[in-house]
Amino acid sequence: MPFTKPIEVRYADCDMMQHVNNAVFLHYLEEARLGYYRQLFGPHGMADIDFILGEVRVRYLSPATMGEMLDVTVRVSEMRRSSFTMQYAITAAGDGRSVATAGTVQVMFDYVTQASKPLPDDLRARIGQQEGQDFAIPV
């Protein structure tokens, strides 16, 4: 099941063109991603899970301006051996127009060996249950 994070565009989010600066969208994605994790693990449940962000893609579709309410919806769309992909849709709450779409790849990371590591089975199962999908381990 997707998670949606409502976000109000702040004055500080806007650039001299009076719309949300492209870099700020990464913060919006992070807010939604963290909300998804809190929904999945509880407020402190991800302390022992070592994710790093391996990739970010954003497609900007229409401008958002100060005071506008946005809905940032996120879901896990794919799981691999040591990573999973999250897809995002950012829409204007007022008129429903598409503001941006995005994708991120989260990688399980071993900080001792400085290398990726396999996703734990319990994490794979928990995300699969949340998404209503069977994320079988790739061969």
Q: What is the pLDDT of residues 82-137, one digit of tens each?
A: 999 999 999 999 999 999 999 999 999 999 999 999 999 888 999 999 999 888 77
- Kindly report the CA angle at 52 between 131 and 23, in degrees rounded to 5? 90
Residue 136 lies in a domain: no
pLDDT for 138: 60
Could you tell me where the beta strands, DSSP code E, fall in 15-129? 51-60, 69-79, 83-92, 98-110, 115-116
Q: Name, in order, each residue with C-beta under 8 angstroms of 13's C-beta and a sequence gap of 6 or more.
A: 20, 21, 24, 27, 66
Q: What's the predicted TM-score (pTM) here?
A: 0.92
Residue 137 lies in a domain: no
Residue 86 lies in a domain: yes
Residue 134 lies in a domain: no
Residue 138 lies in a domain: no
Indicate whether 66 pLDDT > 80: yes
Secondary structure of residue 133 in the 3-state scheme: coil
pLDDT for 136: 76
Where residue 46 sits, what CATH number does that domain have?
A: 3.10.129.10
Residue 27 lies in a domain: yes
pLDDT for 45: 67
Residue 7 lies in a domain: yes
* Counted domains in the chain: 1
22/40 Cα distance (integer angstroms): 28
Structural domain of residue 65, as residue ranges? 3-121
pLDDT in tens, 50-64: 889 999 999 999 999
State the pLDDT confidence band at 1, using cuts at 50, 70 and 90: confident
Indicate whether 43 pLDDT > 90: no
10/69 Cα distance (integer angstroms): 10
Residue 101 lies in a domain: yes
